[in-house]
Amino acid sequence: MSECSSSSHIKRGDLVVFAGNSNPDLAEAVAKSLGIKLGEVEVKKFADSEINVKINEAVRGKDVYIIQPTSYPTNDNLMELLIMTDACKRASAGYVNVVVPYYGYARQDRKTRGREPISAKLVANLITVSGADRVITMDLHAGQIQGYFDIPLDHFTAIRLLSSYFKEKAFDNPDEYVVVSPDLGGVTRARSFADYLKLTIAIIEKRRPRPNVSEVMNVIGDFEGKHCILVDDIIDTAGTICNAANYLKEHGAKEVSIAATHGVLSGNACENLENSCVKEVVITDTIKLPEEKKIQKIKQISIAPLLAEAINRINTYESISGLFEDGK
């Protein structure tokens, strides 16, 4: 998308975008797409690791956007977001919008056993109490987290961006491609991805004997002799997704690629991907990709133009509903 053009619409206030330390490159790209400079803020730590924030420009009455994925180190980045939000609110910002492309703790969205927390709801409460007026996020692990907030939340998806990467290849040979959901819970995501490319889907039935470990029990659908595109929201340790990819390859798949919104890539994830049969891994930049994790198999697509367009429309009171599915 080209640089956002100025609008004749009424504005909510002068636009200010601040970057936390989690993903400053993404924030810089968003600001560039908006045609503005990042706001001036200092985020430091005291000797005992307490976070200290200093907003170095006036925000009174302004429409403020704080871009901060709550990825690793999750707790530090979350506290940084909360403190920056509080600082802007206490400085009389007109609106404080928190842009959390990757929402940490999203996998703790319900109780599966007794005496468990619902941490995703706790984080929602913390963000609200810190003074946020709106939340902007992408591909929540569990869609119901939207309902944990009593303030407006805009939930975007990267499905269109990711599927576009495969569009030319799949368009020429649709019968040779199939979209695969790595589990029953991801069927809706895989179906949306497949619909954009007009492809069929297959579903992996698996079980989890313990966290981050899975066993493939069965595959529903035809995948033999085809290029499989495994679609997921998060790649964490990559153990589960690599296990699924290797199973597909061993049982007749021609090639296997992965498309996922959030490249968490914890622990030995990159090594697992390198040693697997996976041809390529397509992710977005919701989470900063360190140099040591930029392996040859990983291709990264930027969500900055989408976020910039959303911010521009919110700031000028334009409708953003068309962005939810289109992923422009």
pLDDT at 123: 98
CATH topology of domain 159-287: Rossmann fold (3.40.50)
* Intrachain domains 15-156+305-316 and 159-287 with the same fold: yes
Do residues 134 and 153 lie in contact, with contact meaning Cβ atoms separated by under 8 Å?
yes
Domain spanning 15-156+305-316, CATH class: alpha beta
Do residues 40 and 56 lie in contact, with contact meaning Cβ atoms separated by under 8 Å?
yes
Known binding-site residues for D-ribose 5-phosphate equal: 208, 232, 236-240
CA distances from 253 to 42, 97, 163, 176 (A): 51, 45, 19, 10
Using alpha carbons, select from 189, 181, 197 the residue that is nearest to residue 155.
Answer: 189
Q: Which residues are catalytic?
A: 206
Instruction: Give me the half-sphere count of Cα atoms (radius 13 Å) on the Cβ side of residue 219.
Output: 24
pLDDT at 268: 96
Q: Which residues have C-beta within 8 Å of that of residue 179, sequence separation ≥ 6?
A: 190, 193, 194, 197, 199, 200, 201, 202, 228, 229, 231
Q: Digits of tens for pLDDT over the chain (328 positions)? A: 445 544 456 889 999 999 999 999 999 999 999 999 999 999 999 999 999 999 999 999 999 999 999 999 999 999 999 999 999 999 999 999 999 999 999 999 999 899 999 999 999 999 999 999 999 999 999 999 999 999 999 999 999 999 999 998 888 889 999 999 999 889 999 999 999 999 999 999 987 666 656 677 789 999 999 999 999 999 999 998 999 999 999 999 999 999 999 999 999 999 999 999 999 999 999 999 999 999 999 999 999 999 999 999 999 999 998 887 644 4
Known binding-site residues for Mg(2+) equal: 141, 183
CB count, 10 Å around CB of 14? 15
Domain ranges of the chain: 15-156+305-316, 159-287
Known binding-site residues for ATP equal: 48-50, 107-108
220 backbone dihedrals φ, ψ, rounded to 5°? -95, 115
CA dist 305 and 4 (Å) reads: 9
pLDDT at 197: 95
